[in-house]
Structure 1
Amino acid sequence: MLAVADAAAGGLAGGYNREQLATFVWVGQGLLAVILLWGWTELADRIRTGDVTGDLLRPVPPVVSYLATDLGRAGHAALTRLIPPVVAGLLFFDLYVPERWLTGPLFVVSMALAVVACFGCRYLVNAAAYWLQDVRGPMIAWTLGSGVLAGLYFPLRFLPDWATVALWLGTPFPSLLQTPLDVLVERDPPPTQVGLVALQAVWVILLLAACGWVQRRAERRLVIQGG
């Protein structure tokens, strides 16, 4: 990333300077554990074994129950998995220090929304097991697509403007990682920062609504099957 910035005109690559790119990479590695793009298959496993019927007997809806668990996991990861990469980055690189007072609280809100949005995506992928039983196909597609489209491997601002806008407005992927990182490194002016976080909130609402709808459809399917 630093080589790209050095080779770019004016020392800016995709609108990021060297310090912003270094911060993007190191904080992104820490956020990966907090947001947890991959590795969660609990719902799919319980559907496959039939243990999910126990979840349906509980007074709390499965979506709410799993979301509460995931928020607790994310809070623990923020303390134990986010800080070490940031400290390592500070030791070996010049990281970007935000200059606006709004950036700190806005980043916290953006990170929380990213956790919920990512949960919604993972829940939908897992819920495919209600119909497919074996979700290895959707899981592989999610693993391959989410890292690239969320901005883990490179900032999405490196893409042409039309592609970036299409991804942000047409998919929830940039809201998972790209948006909180852009907010932190102050890639955009404050109004744009707030707008991106507001778009995150919209995707959270849509994803949770989709999770609830899919869960209700799945429960009707289980009843029809006599499960």
Structure 2
Amino acid sequence: MFGGFVANMTFGFLKVAMLFATVRAVGGTVQGYDVGSMSAYIWISQGMLGSINLNGRIDLADRVKTGDIAVDFLRPINIQLATIATEVGKAVFALIPRGLPSVAIGAIFIGMTMPTTVAPYILGACSLLIGITVSFSTVYLVAVIGFWLVETRGIQIFYMVISGFFSGLYVPISLFPDWLLVITEATPFPSMLMYPIDVLTGRVTGAASYGLVAAQLAWLAVTLAAGHLLTVAGRRKLEVQGG
């Protein structure tokens, strides 16, 4: 956790240097972002990084590969929901030693523009929890693809590359050209990171903020349904070496 916190701070200051320069180069505002709102985006995204799974990897992938998943199927639990709930619990805990200190560092040493009313924080907290859950329900899909593949590392690496870009980790997705923004919003990745940030920072308010949360819930339903179907199909005929 401490190592992750140090990494968050390091890349946070690097992003401050680059994105602040971008804002100032275009006259102080770019796509509605000024220095204060850009700082809020940078430090909240860095704080969320330890809780949002953008690397495409969970322990279940190894259990599928080794065949230990057969033991899990014998247990009186829902494998999908149990796996996601466990990972979400770890992720929420990571906000305490890693996420909140990262945001505090940005607020103290750089400063940021945040809402002055309570509503965005309440809705933002809900959006954050949904975003975390969407990230793990999507990564679960990568893990269970292992029922049909010998090795899923290639897919996991590909997932890691596209998820960071489309989730808005590097730059806000509103800076994308229109055609790329359309493609991005047709994926679940903005629901993991960008939408919670927009709600928490008050960049999107009113009906638009509820629309973002509704989009998150829709992607959560889609990924959970897809994960259920893949799990049912995968356990229909499961061969484990040695038995």
Select the residue among 230, 233, 240 that pairs with 1:217: 233
- Cα 1:39–1:200 change in 2 (3 A) is closer
Equivalence for 1:150: 167
Secondary structure in 1 matching 2:49:
helix
- The aligned amino acid for 1:130 is F
After TM superposition, give the deviation of residue 5 of structure 1 in Å: 1.0
Runs of 4+ aligned structure 1 residues displaced above 3 Å come to: 223-227
Q: Using structure 1 for the length normalisation, give the TM-score.
A: 0.93
Unaligned runs of 5+ in 1: none
- Does 2:221 correspond to 1:205? yes
Secondary structure in 2 matching 1:116:
helix
The answer on whether the counterparts of 1:150 and 1:178 sit within 8 Å (CA) in structure 2 is: yes
Stretch of structure 1 that moved more, 171-180 or 99-108: 99-108
Equivalence for 1:195: 211
Report the RMSD for the aligned CA atoms in angstroms: 1.8
The answer on whether the counterparts of 1:114 and 1:176 sit within 8 Å (CA) in structure 2 is: yes
The answer on whether the counterparts of 2:36 and 2:111 sit within 8 Å (CA) in structure 1 is: yes
- Please list, as runs of the form range in 1=range in 2, the aligned pairs for 1:61-140 lying within 5 A after superposition: 61-140=78-157
Unaligned runs of 5+ in 2: 1-18
Aligned residue pairs total 225
Deviations 1:154-196 (A, max 9, x none): 110001234323322x110110101011112222232111101
Distance, in Å, in 2 between the alignment partners of 1:68 and 1:19 is 35
Distance, in Å, in 2 between the alignment partners of 1:120 and 1:50 is 21
Equivalence for 2:201: 185
- Does 2:62 correspond to 1:45? yes
Distance, in Å, in 1 between the alignment partners of 2:240 and 2:162 is 34
Distance, in Å, in 1 between the alignment partners of 2:117 and 2:48 is 21
After TM superposition, give the deviation of residue 92 of structure 1 in Å: 1.5
Distance, in Å, in 2 between the alignment partners of 1:8 and 1:139 is 37
Distance, in Å, in 1 between the alignment partners of 2:204 and 2:59 is 38
Deviations 1:28-82 (A, max 9, x none): 1110111122263311111111111011011111101101201210221121211
Distance, in Å, in 2 between the alignment partners of 1:39 and 1:159 is 23
The answer on whether the counterparts of 1:113 and 1:200 sit within 8 Å (CA) in structure 2 is: yes
Distance, in Å, in 1 between the alignment partners of 2:121 and 2:115 is 8
- Does 2:16 correspond to 1:7? no
Q: Percent identity?
A: 36
After TM superposition, give the deviation of residue 226 of structure 1 in Å: 10
Distance, in Å, in 2 between the alignment partners of 1:81 and 1:70 is 16
Equivalence for 2:7: none
- The aligned amino acid for 2:108 is L
After TM superposition, give the deviation of residue 225 of structure 1 in Å: 9.9
Distance, in Å, in 1 between the alignment partners of 2:240 and 2:218 is 33
- Please list, as runs of the form range in 1=range in 2, the aligned pairs for 1:10-29 lying within 5 A after superposition: 11-29=28-46
Secondary structure in 1 matching 2:169:
coil
Distance, in Å, in 2 between the alignment partners of 1:156 and 1:207 is 22
Deviations 1:111-147 (A, max 9, x none): 0110111011110011111111200110111011100
The answer on whether the counterparts of 2:135 and 2:192 sit within 8 Å (CA) in structure 1 is: yes
- The aligned amino acid for 1:123 is Y
Q: Using structure 2 for the length normalisation, give the TM-score.
A: 0.87
- The aligned amino acid for 2:73 is L
Distance, in Å, in 1 between the alignment partners of 2:240 and 2:90 is 34
Distance, in Å, in 1 between the alignment partners of 2:56 and 2:65 is 17
